[in-house]
Amino acid sequence: MAKKEYAFYPGCSSQLKASASNYLTSVNAMCKTLDVKLTPIPDWNCCGASISYTGAGELTRHVLNARNFALAENIGALDVKLTPADVASLSSALPPGADKGTRYPEGQMASLHI
């Protein structure tokens, strides 16, 4: 049994053979090392990042994200508080600076309108 269990929003891009499937692979490996269980948020939907390329409006993206937050709230996922020991455990699993930078290359970030 895992020491900790967290609700998890995997996102469309992390699905098998999707553009960021390596993200899910690395998250699963990290969780195995840290003895953490991730439980996907039930009935999650796309966050809207990919539809921004199709010209969908900002409201659409906000509504999609709001639904995911509501689903997470319904299962108590937003009540998670990290203790100093949790932070230390996560910090020891990642090299310093691993969280720096952007998710996508600079040119692609510009097209996200964020």
pLDDT tens, residue by residue, 37-91: 988 888 888 887 777 667 767 777 788 888 888 888 888 766 666 677 777 776 7
Tokens of 23: 């993200």
Q: Which residue has the tokens 């997470």?
A: 72
DSSP strands (E only) in 60-109? none
Global pTM value: 0.57
Output the CA–CA distances (angstroms, integers) from residue 40 to 100, 109, 110, in the order listed: 25, 27, 30
Cα–Cα distance measured from residue 108 to residue 113, given in angstroms and rounded to the nearest whole number: 10
Q: pLDDT tens across 13-33, in order?
A: 777 777 778 888 888 899 999
Please report which helix (H) or strand (E) contains residue 8, including its range: strand 4-8
